Amino acid sequence: MSLSADFEGSIVVDGIVRSHGVSVFLYDCGLVLSEIPRVGLCRFKIYLRPFSPSMILTQNSDCMKEGLFFEFKGNDVGVVSDGPLGNPGDGEFNSRTIIVFRTIVTYIANLTEVKIDGETTSGVDAYDANKVLQAGKFSVHFAIPKERFAEFFQLNEFAHSNLLRAFAQAFP
């Protein structure tokens, strides 16, 4: 199962806004976040793993009221990638390994807000192996409107009905 859509939001890396929109690709064990609009073949991407749809979507009205929080730490829980840097066919990418990320999901009556913050290790420049890319921080925020739940999460009519019922219980 894979889910993909573009949402309003932002990607901020080391204090610099990279994008005012977020392309989200969610699959069984990972999440890929990238900037929009994409400029040619160049694209900044954040790969997070482990990640699953249940880390964003719940049908439990009590959890909706409280929100969801997850934190993962490790030697390699993802990667931040920027490129291709030269000729698109060459495949040069600057990358830094993600060592921690936190996901905070907040439910509101008409949407679900997702905020993901993380930290990376230092990396090596794709063109100059002597140049060290500093360890960094990133923050991604996007909102999934209630009317797009069925489409994005590929919910059947029964599951969508249960989700709307849980929202109605959480936010009367």
Q: Cα separations (Å) of 148 from 6, 59, 69?
A: 11, 15, 22
Strand partners of residue 6: 23
Q: What is the pLDDT of residue 41?
A: 61
Residue 168 per-residue DSSP state: H
What is the extent of the structural domain holding 72?
Answer: 2-170
Q: What is the pLDDT of residue 130?
A: 87
Tens of pLDDT, residue by residue over 102-144, are 999 999 999 999 999 999 999 988 878 888 999 999 999 999 9
Q: Which residues of the chain have pLDDT under 70?
A: 1, 38-42, 84, 86-90
**What pTM value is reported for the model?**
0.91
The closest alpha carbon to 143, from 51, 6, 26, 9, belongs to 9
Per DSSP bridges, beta strands 94-108 and 78-83 are antiparallel
How many domains does the chain fold into?
Answer: 1
